Amino acid sequence: MSDSEHDARLEQNLALATRLQHSAYQAPGGFGAVQPPTWRASTVLFADVAAMRARDWRRKDGYTYGLHGTPTTFTLEQRLADIEGARHAVLCPSGLSAITLVDLALLAQGDAVLLPSNAYGPGAEFAQRSLRAWGIEAQAYDPLDPDSAARLITPRTRLLWLEAPGSVSMEMPDLRALVALARAHGVRTAIDNTWSAGIALRPFDLGIDISVQALTKYQSGGADVLMGAVLCRDDALHETLNLAHMRLGLGVAGDDAALVLRGLSSLALRYAAHDASARRIAQWLAQQPQVRRVLHPALPDSPGHAHWLRDCSAAAGLFSFTFVPRVTPEQVDAFVDALRLFGIGYSWGGPRSLVVPYAIDAMRGAAWRDGSPLVRLAIGLEGADDLIADLRRAMGGALPA
Ligand SMILES: *Cc1c(COP(=O)(O)O)cnc(C)c1O
């Protein structure tokens, strides 16, 4: 008996309350739409007990439970893997949870993990506080000095984190040297590759084991959804990550996955537009007398620029700049408040331009030698000339020439 025959038989002589749960109608198949359908499910129904018993949640040729995947989340995972040249992807409810999943999957008591000193702050906080409390040592290395990482590696070191470029201060590390170092010591490598969106930098071609994306940024593109992904090529590594993902109960909603899938359609065009606009604005800023340094990996005097030239094919719309020492932190705040087209807020990758002033000296400590206030810009999809005019006007009003 087919499902619809079964349902039709059920429908006879049943109370409305029951019929509301057991409709006989089946929409015809063969519907074609541009975007994949959005499946929402906690429960996944099985045809019979044998089918239920035969299911293994780890195999991606069927379905077990909403937390372990739906056609919508499987489709998003595969498309992300295709973009970055990975074989596997695991979706997480935020970029931060994707970072902590990697730590929790690969590290155990007694192990050590190395992070760049410019790592995404909340991920570094997880390592320095939670991992340390569980007996896992977390140490910071200078991302522009691979020898500083070499000096910290011991037989206990299990994971080397990379970030390209680093958060806020935007240093582009020598990924090839760091990967070679890790390989020589049998240490796994994971990169926070959010800035490149998997487009500008191809981590698996460089021999990096794991890539993490905050899909919250460019993949979503709407500034209205939070999601992360962990990508890898190696089957055994995927199994390790997938088991930890299951045990931690991580998953994403079908509606959120559909929003990100829709964003992917325009990802390449948006990324190129953010890149072109940000480079124009960065070059304009570099000419301004109040600006000391523009920290944009594609600009020649940005830290690690040679590594960007060697390893990247494009740049994102996110960069920072510092001011000459005579500009006070109060004047920087007044400049930020005077901007009209830039929203003040965290995150990036959406359609609107954003600005955040950072007390970078306090964040980086002795490692930060520049000594002047820093502002980070996320360039959105507005016209670059309008954004430059806004920056010029706000600078003229708030900063000494
Ligand atoms: C935003 C961001 C994250 C975290 O993503 P959420 O989805 O906000 O948790 C991680 N790494 C980098 C580099 C980011 O910019």
CA nearest neighbour of 337 among 298, 390, 265: 390
CA of 214 to the centre of ligand 1 (A): 5
Of the pLDDT bands very low, low, confident and very high (cuts 50, 70, 90), residue 74 is: very high
Q: Is 93 in the pocket of ligand 1 (CB under 6 A)?
A: no
- For residues 260-269, average pLDDT: 98
Alpha carbons 93 and 229: distance in angstroms, whole number: 9
Q: What is the pLDDT of residues 276-295, one digit of tens each?
A: 999 999 999 999 999 999 99
Displacement of CA 308 from its chain's centroid (Å): 19
Q: What is the pLDDT of residues 251-260, one digit of tens each?
A: 999 999 999 9
pLDDT at residue 85 tops 90: yes
Q: Which two structure tokens, joined as six digits, stand for 400?
A: 């000494």
Alpha carbons 164 and 186: distance in angstroms, whole number: 22
Instruction: HSE, CB side, 13 Å, CA atoms: give it for residue 374.
Output: 22
In one letter, which amino acid is 39? W
- Ligand 1 pocket mutation pick from 161, 194, 224, 225 by most atoms within 8 angstroms of CB: 194
What percent of the chain lies above the pLDDT cut of 70?
Answer: 96
In one letter, which amino acid is 121? G
* Per-residue model confidence (pLDDT) at position 398: 83
Alpha carbons 379 and 328: distance in angstroms, whole number: 24
Vertex 117: Cα angle to 115 and 121 (nearest 5): 85
Alpha carbons 188 and 186: distance in angstroms, whole number: 7
H-type alpha helices, 302-359: 305-311, 329-338
In one letter, which amino acid is 76? L
Lowest mean pLDDT segment, chosen from 6-20, 115-129, 149-163, 252-266: 6-20
Q: Is 120 in the pocket of ligand 1 (CB under 6 A)?
A: yes
Q: Is 228 in the pocket of ligand 1 (CB under 6 A)?
A: yes
* Per-residue model confidence (pLDDT) at position 9: 61
H-type alpha helices, 107-253: 121-125, 132-133, 146-152, 175-184, 235-248
Q: Is 96 in the pocket of ligand 1 (CB under 6 A)?
A: yes
Residue nearest to atom 3 of ligand 1 (CA): 95
Beta strand 188-192 pairing with 137-141: unpaired
Report which secondary-structure segment, H or E, holds 384.
helix 384-398
- Ligand 1 pocket mutation pick from 120, 227, 318 by most atoms within 8 angstroms of CB: 120
Closest ligand 1 atom to residue 226 Cα is: 7
Q: Is 194 in the pocket of ligand 1 (CB under 6 A)?
A: yes
* Per-residue model confidence (pLDDT) at position 371: 66
More confident: 400 or 116 = 116
pLDDT at residue 365 tops 90: no
Q: Is 226 in the pocket of ligand 1 (CB under 6 A)?
A: yes
More confident: 372 or 126 = 126
Of the pLDDT bands very low, low, confident and very high (cuts 50, 70, 90), residue 76 is: very high
Q: Is 192 in the pocket of ligand 1 (CB under 6 A)?
A: yes
Of the pLDDT bands very low, low, confident and very high (cuts 50, 70, 90), residue 10 is: low
Vertex 87: Cα angle to 84 and 89 (nearest 5): 75
- The domain locations on the chain are 49-264, 267-398
- For residues 320-325, average pLDDT: 94
Residue nearest to atom 8 of ligand 1 (CA): 95
* Per-residue model confidence (pLDDT) at position 399: 83
pTM of this prediction? Answer: 0.95
Architecture of the domain defined by 49-264: 3-Layer(aba) Sandwich (3.40)
- With 0-12 / 13-18 / 19 or more C-beta atoms within 10 angstroms meaning exposed / middle / buried, residue 29 is exposed
The class of domain 267-398 in CATH terms is alpha beta
β-bridge partners, 374: 322, 358
pLDDT at residue 202 tops 60: yes
In one letter, which amino acid is 53? R
pLDDT at residue 220 tops 70: yes
What percent of the chain lies above the pLDDT cut of 90?
Answer: 90
- For residues 26-41, average pLDDT: 94
Q: Which two structure tokens, joined as six digits, stand for 67?
A: 């937390």
* Per-residue model confidence (pLDDT) at position 177: 98
Looking at every residue in the chain, the average pLDDT score rounds to 95
Closest ligand 1 atom to residue 96 Cα is: 9
Tell me if 212 sits within 8 A of 194, measured CB to CB.
Answer: yes
The one-character DSSP state at 126 is I
Q: Is 375 in the pocket of ligand 1 (CB under 6 A)?
A: no
Closest ligand 1 atom to residue 214 Cα is: 5
CA of 213 to the centre of ligand 1 (A): 8
Q: Is 161 in the pocket of ligand 1 (CB under 6 A)?
A: no
* Per-residue model confidence (pLDDT) at position 5: 61
Q: How many CB atoms lie within 10 A of CB 321?
A: 26
Closest ligand 1 atom to residue 318 Cα is: 15
Closest ligand 1 atom to residue 194 Cα is: 13
What DSSP string describes 79-106?
HHHHHHT-SEEEEESSHHHHHHHHHHHH
Q: What is the pLDDT of residues 126-185, one digit of tens each?
A: 999 999 999 999 999 999 999 999 999 999 999 999 999 999 999 999 999 999 999 999
* Per-residue model confidence (pLDDT) at position 368: 67
Q: Is 143 in the pocket of ligand 1 (CB under 6 A)?
A: no
